[in-house]
Amino acid sequence: MPASPTRDLPAGLKALAELALDLRWTWSHETDALWERVDAEAWRRTRNPWVILQDISAERLRALAADGSFVAELERLARTRQAYLGAPS
């Protein structure tokens, strides 16, 4: 079942909620640079994607959704996550 964020996300950013709730970020730092791009100060302060996702402004989310390179990286990371989850353990 997909993650259900407590706030609305722009269509191109829906995967952010799945990545934020995927606890692999506690040991796999593949998404660190993405979260730093979302909010560098909050990332340095919390290192917690879920907190960042809940606290980010709607204006910043719209800007990220309009950033083609950010959306492409988010999509790549979401595909990587799906491949990991679908791989035999």
pLDDT reported for residue 44:
97
| 62 lies in some domain | yes
Specify if 63 maps to a domain: yes
pLDDT of residue 85: 84
- Residue 72: inside a domain: yes
Residue 76 domain flag: yes
Query: Is 27 part of any domain?
Result: yes
- pTM of this structure: 0.84
- Can you give the pLDDT at residue 24? 80
The torsion angles phi and psi of 70, rounded to 5 degrees, stand at: -65, -45
Residue 1 has pLDDT above 50, yes or no: no
Residue 1 lies in a domain: no
Q: Domains in the chain: how many in total?
A: 1
Asked whether the predicted pLDDT for residue 37 surpasses 70, the reply is: yes
